């Protein structure tokens, strides 16, 4: 069970971290095209870019938090669980809210899954190992 949870934990950490690259380099293409075609004032456009790339940076940060928590979790300690739980809760809440708000766009299910994986595997791995 711990081996499966370890794989799933790493999967979530890697996908969250790499998601920042997809967000910042691939997802930006249609956004850039839409912004260029709009008549938004420059200050609004600059703010959109700040938020867009800030989100990419946040995704890297969340992934790094999961990697940071890993050594303690691998040892069966919950000493670094709280930040991993917060990352998982963020992804779960964002996923549920975005899925609902977007008219049930299935893309947002990935965020729900990543949140559930981060929370559940952190909880299981943070439980002391049985001798």
Q: CA-to-CA distance for 24 and 22, rounded, in angstroms?
A: 6
- Mean pLDDT of all residues in 31-44: 96
pLDDT digits (tens, 9 = 90+) for 49-91: 999 999 999 999 999 999 999 999 999 999 999 999 999 999 9
Q: CA-to-CA distance for 66 and 99, rounded, in angstroms?
A: 24
Return the pLDDT at 130: 76
pLDDT digits (tens, 9 = 90+) for 87-130: 999 999 999 999 999 999 999 999 999 999 999 999 999 998 87
Return the pLDDT at 4: 97
CA angle 124, 4, 97 (to 5 degrees): 65
Return the pLDDT at 131: 65
CA distances from 118 to 5, 10, 44, 76, 99 (A): 10, 9, 34, 15, 18
pTM score, whole prediction: 0.92
Domain borders along the chain are 2-125
Return the pLDDT at 55: 97
């Amino acid at each position: 069970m711990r081996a499966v949870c370890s794989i799933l934990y790493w999967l979530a950490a890697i996908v969250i971290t790499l998601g920042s690259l997809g967000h910042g380099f691939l997802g930006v293409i249609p956004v850039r095209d839409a912004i260029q075609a709009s008549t938004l004032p420059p200050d609004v456009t600059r703010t959109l870019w700040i938020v867009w790339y800030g989100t990419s940076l946040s995704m890297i940060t969340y992934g790094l938090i999961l990697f940071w928590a890993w050594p303690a979790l691998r040892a069966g300690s919950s000493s670094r669980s709280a930040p991993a739980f917060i990352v998982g809760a963020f992804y779960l809440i964002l996923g549920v809210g975005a899925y609902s708000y977007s008219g049930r766009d299935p893309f947002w299910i990935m965020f729900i899954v990543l949140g559930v994986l981060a929370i559940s595997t952190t909880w299981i791995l943070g439980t002391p190992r049985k001798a």
